[in-house]
Every structure is written in C-alpha cells, then in structure tokens.
Amino acid sequence: MSSRDYYEILGVERSATDDELKKSYRRLAMKYHPDRNPGDDEAQEKFKEAKEAYEILKDPNKRAAYDRFGHAGVNPGAGGGGGPGGPDLGDIFGDIFGDIFGGGGGGRQRRARRGSDLRIAVELDLKEAVYGVEKELQIPTLVSCGVCHGAGSEDGEVETCGTCGGAGQVRIQQGFFSVTQACPTCRGSGQRISNPCSACQGAGRVEEEKTLKVKIPAGVDTGDRIRLSGEGEAGPQGGEAGDLYVEVQVRQHPIFHREGDDLHSEVPVPFVTAALGGELNVPTLDGSIVLKIPSETQSGKLFRLRSKGVRSVRSHRTGDLLCRVVVETPVGLTSEQKDLLRQFQESLGQDQDGRHNPRHRSWLDNVKDFFERMI
C-alpha cells in the first residue's frame, strides 16, 4: 500500500469530482501502464500507485473514511474494485484501457450488490488477430430497468427493510453460537419495495441482448482477454454493473501456425529445385516474397524471414516467419521418367564415401556402431 497522499498521487484537489478523478487516473494509467513502459520498474510502481489511489477515492464510502482517518481508514486488501483479481495484467490493458475500448467505467459503489461479470468468447482469423479488428458482439445480459431506472419500485418509493433495519443481514442465535446471514426478507439489499415495478417485478433489472462494438488490438493470441468495465450485468436495485471479459480464440490457419510472436510455415520444395537451387514465391501475411533456395538444400532446413511475424501486443516487438523446407518426392512418374531416374542413380555409383548422400552415410555409420555395441 502506498504511503503517499492519494490526492497527491492523482494530482487533484481534495474536492475533486468523480469525473476529475477518473480523468486524472486515465491520464496517469495511459502514461505509466507497464505495456507502454516495458522493463521500467519506476513506471510500473507509479501505475500501481495511481491504480490504488483511484480505487479508494472512486468509492464514496472508502473516500470518506480516507478523508477522515487517512490510510488507517481504508483496507488495502479491498482496494481493487473491478472484477476478479484486481488489476489483472493477464488482461491486455486492464480496466482503464477497457474504458477506451468502450467500457462504461466503474460508477459509484452502492450498498446494493454489484452485478455479475460476463464472459464471452470471440473467434478471430489469424490476420484479424495480427492486425487488430473491431467486432460487433451480441451479448445477452441484465440491464437496468428503463421503467423504474433500476430502483425496482413502481412509484420510486423504497423503504428500509424492517427485518434487518437496512443492514441486509440478520443474526440468528443458536445456543452459545450466533450465525449472521443474508436477510430473508430483503435478500441482503437492506431495502423493501411495497409497490414493485411491473416491468421488472421489483428486481430493477430486465433481460436484454445488447450490441457492443469491441476494438481488438493488434497482436492478440488465443487466451488473451479484454476487460470492459461496467459492461457486465447491472446490479440489482440499481447496483453497480459488473464487467465484461472478451476472451480471444484464434482459428487455425491453413498455412501458418503461431508460436509466441513468430509464425511457422512448411514450404514444399520440388526435388530438382532443392538439388540445383532456385527461387520460390512464399506467402507472408503482407503478401508473397521471393525465397532463394540454395543448391543441395535438405528437408528440415529453416529459413528465417525477419520481422515477418506478429507484432506483440505487450512488448511491441515484431517476430519472424520461419519457413521449414520439405523436399517433395515426385509422384505419378511415367516409365520414361522412371528410367531417367534409374540412370541418374547408376551415375552416382555406390557412393562409398557418402559424397552425394552424406546424411544417409552418417546414419549407416550410427546404425553400425549401435549394433556393434550390442554384441
């Protein structure tokens, strides 16, 4: 937990509004985010400080406690406020970048329960994942009721629950033991609605399928996720909305497969080209490129094409394209072609010294040594 003053960290006055807090936090988060400052420990520390300060001050209850008691008035373990795990760096840009991608921000913390987080998978082609794309998603969710505006009451009147006195919890005495549980009357909300809204039956939420445009940044891979703050389910009785997690899945490509930031591809090379050398047009994500094949090229040889891979979403390093040669044996030969190959084989002779087939000769030597050691 930072020992510095939270208002000083964010660079705002103690009377700053919620919008001023959020604007300052966004500016600092974009400046010091680890993805923009790889390897910079000082920037990462400043990002964590800004995150911590904003999470406390955006919550009116925690802010009031901080204003009165300072750091002693807030629980550092409860500083995170936007979904599982706090500022999860497994998310591509965390919650502040989720705002940029279309998230609605955290909103005010209320006594009403927070809405559930949602997860949705989005499938991308390799090229979409490499260069980025905007996707329009249809998301079934619970949204705030438009009739009662999330209050759950037909006439806007909400009473304090008489059973729990607004605490949302009741204590049950069982002999020497007492158990605290959610109030059965208000189900933990601390409120009672005598005239429930006819549209949402008092829940304050209705089912709806909303359309959301999500910008997928360039360089994502399977397993990456984007967090959109406030785009999850609305909370009951006007509670804060949860977050939406967009999980990336990249479809298999017929030519390339990805390993980290590098792309790999198998390149079939005709037998004659491999033996005599030549040129081949090979595909890249940017278009075809001429690959020079030297003479006497063997299967398995790797050709590395620099910076023809994927630009990392985190380090911004661009990977390479590795082309693995597969020498192709000719098929469907005519009788004349087969005779020519036999003549060619005879012209090589017995190849006792392995001059023409060095790998085969080496393999035979290893086999011989293996059997000799077994005797």
- Average pLDDT, whole number, for the chain? 82
Quick check: 48 pLDDT over 60? yes
Distance CA(221)–CA(178), nearest Å, equals: 51
Considering the segment(s) 257-374 as one domain, its CATH architecture is: Sandwich (2.60)
pLDDT score for 80: 38
Q: For residue range 55-94, what is the model confidence (pLDDT) as tens digits? A: 888 888 788 777 777 777 675 443 333 333 333 333 444 4
Tell me what pLDDT residue 112 has: 58
Task: Compute φ and ψ for 209, nearest 5 degrees.
Answer: -105, 110
What is residue 370's predicted lDDT score, i.e. its pLDDT? 83
Phi/psi of residue 341, nearest 5 degrees = -65, -40
Does CATH number 1.10.287.110 belong to domain 1-80? Answer: yes
More reliable by pLDDT, 88 or 313: 313
Task: Report how far residue 353's alpha carbon sits from residue 272's, in angstroms, rounded to the nearest whole number.
Answer: 23
Q: Can you give the pLDDT at residue 300? A: 94
pLDDT score, position 224: 93
Region 47-51: mean pLDDT is 88
Average pLDDT rounded to a whole number, residues 44-64: 86
Ranking 57-61, 229-233, 330-334 by mean pLDDT, the lowest is: 57-61
Q: What is the CATH number of domain 88-148+202-251?
A: 2.60.260.20
Question: Which one of 10-24, 260-274, 358-372 scores highest in mean pLDDT?
Answer: 260-274
The confidence score (pLDDT) of residue 105 equals 38
In the chain, residues under CATH classification 1.10.287.110 are 1-80
**161 within 8 A of 187, measured Cβ to Cβ:** no
- How much of the chain is in helix, strand and coil states, percent to nearest 5? 30, 25, 45
Q: How confident is the model at residue 2 (pLDDT cuts 50, 70, 90)?
A: low
Q: Which one, of 121, 94, 131, 134, lies nearest residue 215 by Cα? A: 134
**Backbone conformation region of residue 165, classed left if phi is above 0, alpha if psi is from -120 to 50, else beta:** left
According to DSSP, residue 153 is labeled: B
List pLDDT tens digits, range 94-123: 443 444 333 333 333 335 578 899 999 999
| Exposure b/e, 69-102, CB count within 10 A at least 16 = b | eeeeebeeeebbbbbeebbbeebbbbbbbbbebb
226 pLDDT tier (thresholds 50, 70, 90) = very high
Task: Pinpoint the residues of the chain covered by CATH 2.60.260.20.
Answer: 88-148+202-251, 257-374
For 268, the token pair is: 């079939």
Q: Are 155 and 166 in contact (CB under 8 A)?
A: no
Structure tokens of 259? 């390993």
What is the per-residue pLDDT for 231? 92
Q: What is the pLDDT of residue 77?
A: 43
Q: What average pLDDT does this structure show over 15-41?
A: 83
What pLDDT, on the 0 to 100 scale, is given for residue 200? 86
